[in-house]
Structures are given as structure tokens and as C-alpha cells.
Structure 1
Amino acid sequence: MEATIIDGKEIAARVKADVADSVSTLKKRGVVPCLAVILVGNNPASVSYVSGKRKALCEAGMEDRSIELPESTTEQELLGIIEKLNNDSSVHGILVQLPLPPHISEKAVTDAISPAKDVDGFHPVNVGKLVSGEKGFLPCTPNGITVLLKKTGIETDGKNVVVVGRSNIVGKPMALLMLRKEFNATVTICHTGTKNLADFTRRADILIVASGRPNTVTADMIKPGAAVIDVGVNRIPDSSRKSGFRLCGDVDFEGAKKVAGFITPVPGGVGPMTIAMLIFNTLESARQTLGGK
């Protein structure tokens, strides 16, 4: 019996519909949630990601204050734009699409965004709140994964969760979220320095893979019946496709689905949830202007 496929598109659509309803209510109270997405340069993947975010904003009835800048934009110019957006009370969220050109410091840019408008959840203040369990903006991909688990009815209380990957964007915040009492899991983090990775992954009731490398996890590395969440998005050359490539995750999907109890596909699993949680965070920021109501 094959694993149940977790439909991220369907769950994300439900989240977006709820956000759109709330946006409609906020508008009646005179507040239009607004997100400024800043794109520097024309990296094809980044252009595609920004396009998806803008589409979601439009569908939710939010204001899209997107800014496209040339690759030659200086760090000082970008920081100046962020400062203006920080001081603009009609803007509720600021997102700078990564990666940035090499001459611009990602840390300097992330630190420059007001924590109150950091809907990506990357500012040190929001990271600190995540660590201490305080209310703040949660990183979109890890938060989206918790929603996938909840909506699918996958129990986390007392379960063994193994996270493969230790990035600041997914791995670390994912582990911290699963440690919170509301999820109450026992968490192990594995990474490139982990010896005998399969010894850890086979113990996982919930296996979250964000290694950034295809086939990091194969079927023989999965505990029968486990929930497998594949965060990876890798472009593999494929001459049979019009684009010249196909997308795959970090897990061998075809093999894994014969062992796992639940599994996310790539594409159509975690990806749609990331954008859904971004507009959710923007909504939450707009609500703060009305005292969080």
C-alpha cells in the first residue's frame, strides 16, 4: 500500500481563502494589507518566485507594492529603499528576494528590515522570539510545514522528528518549532557532518528533508509508515521538457512512497505553503495596526 500524498496545493488554497476573507473584513475597517517585494536583478528563479508571490497577493485582495531594481543597485541604495518602506505606515510587510547580487550583504539587508514588517521571519529579533517561544513572525516554510502536518492530521506529540538540514531558512527554525510545547516532539537535526545518516532517518516518525541535494533520502532510509516532508526543489536537466529541466525534491519520491505513510510531492507539496504563509504573515502584520484584531 502506497503512502498518502499530502496535497500542498489544496491545503495552501484553503489557507489563502481564509486570508482573503480576513482581508475583506480588514478593508471594511479601513486597512488594506500591503506587501512590498523587492527584487534586485533578473535571476530566473527569483523572477518566478516573485511572480508567484505577486499573484497570491492579488488573489487575496492585498496591495502589491513590488519594486524591481537593476543588478547594479548598490547596497546603500537598497538600504535607503528599505528605510523608506519601514517608515511608510501603509506598508505592512517587506520582503527582499534572495539571493542578492554578490556586492550586497544579505545580512545587512535582513537586519535593516523592521522586525514589525519582517514577514519572512528572518530578522534577528524574530529569530530570538522563535527561540524563546514568544509571539513573532515565523519563517514561512517551516510554519507552512506545521500547517501541513496539522491539516493532514499527523500527530506530533511525543513523536520522533528528524530534520535533515541546518539552514537558517528551514532546518534550524523547523527544529525549534517542533520543540515547542504545542508540537511537543523529540527532535534530531542531521547535516553534512552526520555519520550514518540512515541510522537517524530510520527512527523518524516524521522526517523533514531540506538538504538541497536530490536523493539524499532513499526508500531504505525511511521507517515504514513515517510521514516524509520533502522541502527540496532541485532542477534536473531533462531534454524531454520544454523548459529543459524537471523539478525534484531531496527524497527519492517513487521509492519513498512505497514505504512512507504520508509524503509530500515536489512540486505541489511544501512550496505552495510557503507563499500561503507569507500572505498570512502580511495579514497578521496589518492586524497589528488595529491592535491585533
Structure 2
Amino acid sequence: MSEQTSPETAGAKLIDGKAFARNLREQTRLEVTAFHEKHAVTPGLAVVLVGNDPASEVYVRNKALETHHVGMRSFMHMLPETTSEASLLKLIDRLNDDPEIHGILVQLPLPKHIDPHRITNAISPNKDVDGLGEVNAGRLSVGLPGIIPCTPLGCLMLLKSELGDLRGLNATVIGASNLVGKPMALLLLNEGCTVSVGHIDTKEPAALARSADILIVATGKNGLVKHDWVKPGATVIDVGITRVPTANGKTKLVGDVAFAEVAPIAGRITPVPGGVGPMTIACLLRNTLKAARMSVGDKGCKESGQKNWLPY
């Protein structure tokens, strides 16, 4: 990881998620090539988007582009806003049965008339590359192997790269969503951390956060975490990303952490953008490769040419 600092960080080490993700994608590309040579199988990822939200469309197309870059096949399903829940479930059933599809991702959020939990749980657990279905969530909760949600997995990779063994460290997760907060807490617990979780009903979240050697923030509330929330020298992982207007009439991306305030106090910190964000798609590609390996009974290379902590 980069040792880069800037005047705004005043000594804190920037965790370069963009560079890490680039290296991880390259490693995945090499493994996809080896996997194809061994099994004559090309991993396939199906991405389903319901509706025409511009931000989601851009994100989905970026996923398709990165999928092709690592040598996988991408199958796009762009459905109208009026698609019924029954029609979407039929599509998922077809994708579950398609041997060329190894991973299925339904882009969230879905239109209000579709139950996201029902859709997520309709995806075969072995193709659930988002790791959000009940089977994979349950396996994570009891420490069994499964497919791990992409963003928490990316955060864990960054933490292990920076800190090595996490056992015994105090870790606080601010935010308790099923997408990030809960699985992140479980991953840290499985790593041997002492874990606390702050949420909307936590009475003194700043005091809870100040006890953390590792502070992970995933609330969607920009600038929530100020300097007095952070223990000096702590490692801060900012999962939040919000687009806000600037004085010149343009916009910029900011995180849940007030970066300029917190960076001089933290020992390490992820920037927004360029921190956690790039890791999400990189980990989606890892999960798709893992799903393809599972389909042929190939355990793959555990070290993956990186370090022995890389999950697969």
C-alpha cells in the first residue's frame, strides 16, 4: 500500500484502495486464464438492473467492463421499471439453471413494488456473488466458508494488508446495515477482534468510536465522524460516499468521515473517492471466480499470488 500523505492528512497514511483493487483485478485476470486452461470454463457474471436510474446504469456498465477486462463473460439484463416481481423471479430461475452463469447480481435498490429480500433469496447460494442471501449470511455468522459481501470483504482486505494480524484489536463499526455493517462486524469478529457496533439508537456513538483501534463507518451520512470520534493513531475505513454541491456550482464526492478533521489524528485512513469504492467491484470479480471454482469443485489457489490472508 502507498505511504502517500498530503497536507490535509498531516502524517496519516492514505490507504490506497484504488491501487490495491488494480493489483487484485490483475491477479484475478491471471487466475481466470489459468482456470480456463484447466477446465475449459469461462466464469460468467449476470447482472440484472430493473429501472433506469442513471447512477445504477453507470455502475452496472462499469461492472460489465471490468468483468471483460479480467477475461470473464458478462450477461446484462436491463429491465423496465414496470417489471413485475414474478417476471424477475422467473429470470432468476433461468439464470440459476444456466451452466454458463456462475454469478448473479441484482442491482439494488429495486422498485418499491418488488421485495428485495425475496429476490436476493431466490438466487442460488452458490451464485450469490453479492453474498446477501440468507444462506451465505448464515454461514458467515457461524464462521463457515461462503461467499462474503463485496464491500466488507474489500474493507477486510485493506485492513489485513495494512495491519496484518487483527487479533485482539478493538474494532468499532458505525452502521448496522445488512449490506455492510452486520457482515463487517462478523468478519472482524471471525478475525479475533473485539467488536462494537454503533447504530441509530446508540446513545453515545462518539464515545464508542473513540475506543477503536479500527473504525469503520458505513452510514450514508456525510461528515458524520468528526475529530473527537477518533482515537489517535486509529485506522479509519470510510465506506460512505455522497455527492455534494461545491461553491463553484459543481459537485464532489465525500464520505461519512470529515476527512480534513480526522486525517491528522488517524494513523491510517481511506480517502473518498479512491478508498473502499474501487474494492467493491474487484471483490465482486473475486466472488465470481470463486463461484466458478465451486461449480467444478476446484478449490483454487488460496494465496492467489498475494499474501496468505487473501480469502481465496
1:69 aligns with 2:79: yes
d(CA) in 1 for partners of 2:31, 2:134: 28
1:80-119 aligned at under 5 Å gives the runs: 80-119=90-129
1:151-162 aligned at under 5 Å gives the runs: 151-162=161-172
d(CA) in 2 for partners of 1:108, 1:239: 43
Residue 229 of structure 1 aligns to a residue in which SS? strand
Q: How big is each residue's C-alpha offset from its partner over 1:165-216, in whole Å with a ceiling of 9 and x where there is no partner?
A: 0000000000001011xx2100000011111211111111000001110111
Residue of structure 1 equivalent to 2:33? 24
CA shift, 1:155, in A, is 4.3
1:248 aligns with 2:257: no
1:170-209 aligned at under 5 Å gives the runs: 170-180=180-190, 183-209=191-217
What amino acid is the match of 2:220?
Answer: G
CA shift, 1:278, in A, is 0.4
Residue of structure 2 equivalent to 1:213? 221
Residue 296 of structure 2 aligns to a residue in which SS? coil
Superposition RMSD on alpha carbons, in Å? 1.1
CA shift, 1:14, in A, is 1.1
What amino acid is the match of 1:7?
Answer: D
What amino acid is the match of 2:218?
Answer: A
Q: How big is each residue's C-alpha offset from its partner over 1:210-269, in whole Å with a ceiling of 9 and x where there is no partner?
A: 11101110112110000000000112123636xx42110000001111100000011110
Give aligned pairs, total.
289
CA shift, 1:115, in A, is 0.6
d(CA) in 1 for partners of 2:92, 2:81: 16
d(CA) in 2 for partners of 1:63, 1:147: 25
Larger RCO: Structure 1 or Structure 2 (Cα < 8 Å, ≥ 6 residues apart)? 1
What amino acid is the match of 1:274?
Answer: T
Residue 114 of structure 2 aligns to a residue in which SS? coil
CA shift, 1:62, in A, is 0.4
Residue of structure 2 equivalent to 1:228? 236
Q: Is the 8 A contact 1:165 1:209 kept in 2?
A: yes
Q: Is the 8 A contact 1:149 1:155 kept in 2?
A: no
Q: Is the 8 A contact 1:33 1:92 kept in 2?
A: yes
d(CA) in 2 for partners of 1:198, 1:43: 35
Q: Is the 8 A contact 1:11 1:151 kept in 2?
A: no
User: TM-score normalized by structure 2?
Assistant: 0.90
d(CA) in 1 for partners of 2:125, 2:285: 16
CA shift, 1:288, in A, is 1.4
1:123 aligns with 2:133: yes
Match of 1:266 among 272, 276, 286: 272
Unaligned runs of 5+ residues in structure 2 are 1-9, 300-312
Bigger Cα displacement from structure 2, 230-239 vs 54-63 = 230-239
Bigger Cα displacement from structure 2, 272-281 vs 194-203 = 194-203
Residue 39 of structure 1 aligns to a residue in which SS? strand
Distance 1:176 1:210, change over 3 A: same
CA shift, 1:154, in A, is 5.0
CA shift, 1:51, in A, is 1.8
Residue of structure 2 equivalent to 1:292? 298
Distance 1:257 1:154, change over 3 A: farther
d(CA) in 2 for partners of 1:132, 1:155: 20
User: TM-score normalized by structure 1?
Assistant: 0.96
Unaligned runs of 5+ residues in structure 1 are none
CA shift, 1:151, in A, is 1.7
Bigger Cα displacement from structure 2, 283-292 vs 171-180 = 283-292
Moved over 4 A (4+): none
Residue 184 of structure 1 aligns to a residue in which SS? coil
Distance 1:37 1:239, change over 3 A: farther
Residue of structure 1 equivalent to 2:148? 138
d(CA) in 2 for partners of 1:67, 1:270: 26
d(CA) in 2 for partners of 1:166, 1:185: 17
Q: Is the 8 A contact 1:166 1:189 kept in 2?
A: yes
Match of 2:21 among 2, 12, 16: 12
